[in-house]
Amino acid sequence: MSNKPWIVGDELWARIEPLLPAWPERSPGPRPMDDRLCLQGILFVLYTGIAWQQLPPELGFGPGQTCWRRLGRWQQAGVFEALHRLLLAELNAAGLIDWTRACVDAPTYARKRGEATGPSPVDRRKTGSKHHLISDGGGIPFHVITTAANVNDVTQTLDLIDGIPPVAGRVGRPRKRPDALLGDKGYDSKPNRRELRRRRILPVISRRGEPDIIGLGTLRYVVEQTFAQLHQFKRLAIRWERRLDLHNAFVSLACALICWRRLNRQIP
């Protein structure tokens, strides 16, 4: 990884720029800050976890308030989710998505106040948020849901499955269903098993009160690796945004960047 990972290269910018909403030709006020510089300011905050008001002006990103507003505008326009879908399609076209199984987990908590927060099951004196993640069999992130920290994993199983976007890149209809879903005992639920089978997905989930499925942990470790990659972005390791939409914007952007790294391994 570059020692300045927030710098947007030409190849990545060529994918992002067409997704950005256009500014009106005759908008009132001064000329808006350059989109590419604003994006680099957003990435600087995502990577370092720095406060918006501390964004270094000497780096040329523009004021933190400008980057913050641009983040909200782009999230409202669906830019980051569109970028994530675009990169998933490129990974799928390259044969890099493992549809034989998907893995779910939610092991960590982001501590702060705001929307979608609640008592932490680890320490109920503290409130926080929880990330629920579903990845493919190789750890490529499909979808992340942010909830209060006290929300049970099992309640998000079907929402995670249904949140997988239609992934193009191959001949035929876009795909959004894995062959199997792997989960620990926190996802054990008879109604969910029925719903998964109705969706033609095989539930491979350890049952409460019974020994763990042999070899399941070896297959599921990839989702833990993906969580480690997700929380290398310091702005996600601890949640600072009180607004859920801005926090989710960072999450979607981080997922897209993880996909971009995976794709870059295959680009000569």
Query: What does the pLDDT look like over 180-206, one tens digit per residue?
Result: 999 988 899 999 999 999 999 999 998
DSSP 31: P
The confidence score (pLDDT) of residue 85 equals: 97
Query: What does the pLDDT look like over 19-77, one tens digit per residue?
Result: 999 877 766 656 678 999 999 999 999 999 999 999 988 888 878 899 999 999 999 99
Q: Which of 93-97, 117-121, 222-226, 234-238 has the lowest mean pLDDT?
A: 117-121
What CATH number labels 98-244?
A: 3.30.420
Query: What does the pLDDT look like over 146-191, one tens digit per residue?
Result: 998 888 999 999 999 999 999 999 988 999 999 999 998 889 999 9
* Cα gap 261→140, rounded to integer Å: 10
pLDDT higher than 70, residue 89: yes
- For residue 22, what are the CA distances in angstroms to 35, 65, 74, 108? 10, 20, 11, 37
Q: At CB < 8 A and 24+ separation, what contacts does 106-111 make?
A: 106/130, 106/131, 106/132, 106/133, 106/153, 106/156, 106/186, 107/224, 107/227, 108/227, 108/231, 109/149, 110/236, 110/237, 110/238, 110/239, 111/238, 111/239
pLDDT higher than 60, residue 222: yes
Taking 3-state DSSP, the helix, strand and coil percentages for the chain, each rounded to the nearest 5, stand at 45, 15, 40
DSSP 208: T
Classified as helix, coil or strand, 78 is: coil
Within 10 angstroms of residue 39's Cβ, the number of other Cβ atoms is 24
Domain boundaries, the chain: 98-244
The confidence score (pLDDT) of residue 111 equals: 60
Rounded to two decimals, the pTM is 0.89
Confidence of residue 257 (pLDDT cuts 50, 70, 90): very high
* Signed CA dihedral, 91, 92, 95, 98: sign only: positive
The confidence score (pLDDT) of residue 237 equals: 85
Confidence of residue 268 (pLDDT cuts 50, 70, 90): very low
